[in-house]
Amino acid sequence: MTYTALAVIAVVAVVVFDLLVMRTRLLRRRAFWIAYAIVAFFQLVTNGVLTGLRIVRYDGAAIVGSSTPSDGVPPFMGDGRIAFAPVEDLAFGFALVVLTLVLWVWLGRRGVERTPYAGPPRFEYPGRADDPRS
């Protein structure tokens, strides 16, 4: 399976997960899209640096466009790329951000949160020496 196919599957799956399974409907909120624009900007900067400097390289058969132009440097725009990075990277980034936020909102609505304490987490173990029940 190609990188492109996996990216499309990830985006479709997370949209269905948000709208139909968890019903958080984040994708229908203006606040989400404003926040995502900020995330996408920094994702493009990071991907652009890594791909533009050829630290990360992609197989042209697995992405939209080609990865090996004649001069060895991928194009900044066009040929399936935005700021040097393949469009599939944006799709995967979108899927990861949406999945994380959907789970966060869903768990928060159910009251699944840790009571805030200062310092490291405190665990209670049955049978401890200082436990008055033992």
| Domain total of the chain | 1
118 burial via Cβ count (<10 Å: 0-12, 13-18, 19+): exposed
Mean pLDDT of the chain: 83
Q: What is the pLDDT of residues 19-63, one digit of tens each?
A: 999 999 999 999 999 999 999 999 999 988 898 888 888 777 778
In a domain, 99, yes or no: yes
Structural domain of residue 65, as residue ranges? Answer: 3-105
In a domain, 25, yes or no: yes
In a domain, 12, yes or no: yes
Which pLDDT value is given to residue 114?
63
Q: How confident is the model at residue 80 (pLDDT cuts 50, 70, 90)?
A: confident
In a domain, 42, yes or no: yes
In a domain, 41, yes or no: yes
In a domain, 43, yes or no: yes
In a domain, 63, yes or no: yes
Name residues whose C-beta falls within 8 Å of residue 36's C-beta, 6 or more positions apart in sequence: 94, 97
Handedness of CA 40, 46, 49, 54 (dihedral sign): negative
Name which of 11, 90, 64 is nearest 75 in CA terms. 64
Predicted structure pTM score:
0.75
In a domain, 74, yes or no: yes
Say if strands 85-86 and 77-78 run parallel, antiparallel, or are unpaired.
unpaired
Q: What is the DSSP string of 5-25?
A: HHHHHHHHHHHHIIIIII---
